[in-house]
Amino acid sequence: MEEQSILNEMEDLILKINHHNFLYYVEAKPEISDLEYDRLFDRLVFLEKKYSHLKKDYSPTGRVGSDTDNQFPEIAHTIPVLSLDKIYNASDLSKWLEKTQEKTDQKISFSIEPKIDGFSVALYYKNGVLSHIVSRGNGNTGNDLTENIKTIKSIPLKLLSPIDLAVRGEVYIEKEDFLKYNQKMGNVYANPRNFAAGSVRRNKSSEVGKIPLKILVYDGYSESFEAHSNEEMHSFLIQNLFPLNPEILFFNFENKEKVLTYLSEIEEKRKNLQFEIDGLVIKVNEYQYREELGYTAHHPRWAVAYKFEAPQNISKVMGIQINVGRTGRITPLALIEPVKIGGSTVSRATLHNQEYINSLELAVGDTVIVSKRGEIIPAIEEVVEKGEGEIFSLPDRCPECESKLMEKGAHLFCVNPFCKARMREKLAYFVQVMDIENFGKETVKLLFEKKIIENIPDIYYLKESHLINMEGFGDKKTQLILEGIKKSLENPYETVFTALGFDEIAVKVIQILSSNGLDSFEKIIDAAKKNDPEIFLKFHGIGKSTAESIIREFNDIKNINLIEEFEKIGLKTEDEKESRIKFSENLKNTVWCVTGSFENFKPREKALELILSHGGSVSESVTKRTTHLLKGEGGGSKNEKAAKLGIKIVSETEFLKMLSNQEEDLPQKENFFESLF
């Protein structure tokens, strides 16, 4: 085959793949199956490997990312990125529209769109090919984040024509994806914006490519393409397959009453939008009037940001304190000048980790916006004025025991099990969860420092003689503490389990284990000794990392010894609740996965409960151990996987028949469930 023919085929594949990426990631209207898409993609990969000298920089195969550590050099913006002036109510917005109209003395039009609460970037194209992607930075220069951000599949790598173009946009993560991925990472980010900002600054682009980041663009600038208005530029961007905000509205000044309607509609829609917004952006549509209105030193006069009210205030970072948690996680805490937020005085704010600090480019001495956003501990949202300090860097050694810190994901950890800070925090967490009356964190700290309590069992061996002669501990306080400790022995197994503070094993996981027969520490230890994650993965609601955590924690000899000590003390080590009522054993030795929606099972959890109450087991995903897939309306990938694995797919009607003792539909494995143990 001639090279020109190969090149033509490669270009054709690139166009087709880009087209289908746009339909899938932007329009959410795929025209082909995943298998058909994979064939196109695999064919392009094959040709590029065989004819590597013909591979194009703008090929979609280049989005996968690299394991090479990234450096983020500074790059100057071709057009300075200015901030917008802000208004906070409809009355001020109406005045701004009138003032802007009067300044031009012309019939002008405007655009209004939600302001994505994301990470601002500029995309630069040279001769129609993506050249580099730069963070907003200080408005004049930003960091080169090209390799990381081009992993976002909705970003066009090549334009339809060979022009130079600068495009502005916001990188973000959808609310549902934020909750899912942030939980996996230990809830390290306060909000989706900080998650997106931290993600794009990861060291390896291959890691960024695994995160479902998205982008919406809102403006473009080009000397090669003559657009007369924002609306014309939007049409051009759409033609070149850029994802734009679907909620944008264009309106004439005469119809400015539409804006007031739009404001109320967006406020109503806000909670249902897939992305977080922190306000609206209103801009003059026509470019000639933008030029006429001009700029101040800080913002354009032709645009304004309408900000939603939020509980926040401005403060100054006076210092950064490093805390060590019970798991060894290192958490930086900003010490700020006290300010009032939401009716209370705030003097500190969480900084989560180094990625979070880097995303803010935060230094001691910076003036910042602090927001509660429903958080117990407020978070720093953004830097509004830089001080003279350098971006803060976390230490490489534990501030308590000076052990070398280990990096795990986005966090640093002290892995020394005898670190005093970790031991102290474990004790404090246990006392808090067990709700031991009159035994606060300061009491834990004092008794730990005096070596009266050094581990959890020591709490239950405390005597009056240990406390009575200590400063601040009179007869009454001592008796109240001892009574609180004795009372805590009545706490249920679930509470005792939770108080251990095992990584990724929350109350819901404990309930799942108990409902599936693992209702005591002894049973969990026995199951964990098998070192088989599939034992736990078959339970609906338990994922891979949680299964691995269960195996790790319950194979740790220190934890096994601690649980044995609990039995001696009298703490509950098994679930004393009545077992789930079993209506039948019709589903014995079966493992079910459930997908779709049902007429009789609303919510869907009712179907899961029925499976369990008839002797079956449930799994969150389809695996080789799944025996049945209960399929309702809809579904998706689970159907395909079940069919591929030869798993029986059962309708709602068939399922109800099975519950009424039609056992011919059941597998004949005598000891299937038992074999898992």
What are the residue numbers of the active site? 115
* 383-395 exposure pattern, b = at least 16 Cβ within 10 A, e = fewer: beeeeeeeebebe
Helix 544-553 and helix 507-515, axial crossing angle in degrees, nearest 10: 80
Handedness of CA 52, 57, 61, 67 (dihedral sign): positive
DSSP 663: G
Edge-to-edge order in the sheet of strand 165-172: 129-135, 119-126, 165-172, 214-221
For residue 393, give every residue at least 6 positions away whose Cβ sits within 8 Å of its Cβ, in sequence order, or none: 354, 357
Residue 176 to residue 404: CA distance in whole angstroms: 36
Q: Which two tokens stand for residue 471?
A: 């400063």
Residue 347 to residue 338: CA distance in whole angstroms: 4
> By three-state DSSP, how is residue 431 classified?
helix
3-state SS record for 322-385 = EEECCCCEEEEEEEEEEEEECCEEEEEEECCCHHHHHHHCCCCCCEEEEECCCCCCCEEEEEEE
CB atoms within 10 A of CB 608: 20
414 burial level (CB within 10 Å; 0-12, 13-18, 19+) = buried
Q: Which two tokens stand for residue 576?
A: 């004393």
641 burial level (CB within 10 Å; 0-12, 13-18, 19+) = middle
- Please say whether the beta carbons of 621 and 542 come within 8 A: no
Q: Which two tokens stand for residue 130?
A: 């993506």
Residue 408 to residue 381: CA distance in whole angstroms: 24
> By three-state DSSP, how is residue 132 classified?
strand
Q: How far apart are the first and last CA of the chain?
A: 58
Short-list 376, 479, 477, 497, CA closest to 434? 497
- Please say whether the beta carbons of 186 and 239 come within 8 A: no
Kindly list the distances between the CA atom of residue 362 and the CA atoms of 175, 191, 329, 578, 652, in Å, as whole numbers in the listed order.
25, 17, 20, 53, 55
Residue 147 to residue 166: CA distance in whole angstroms: 17
User: Residue type at 284?
Assistant: V
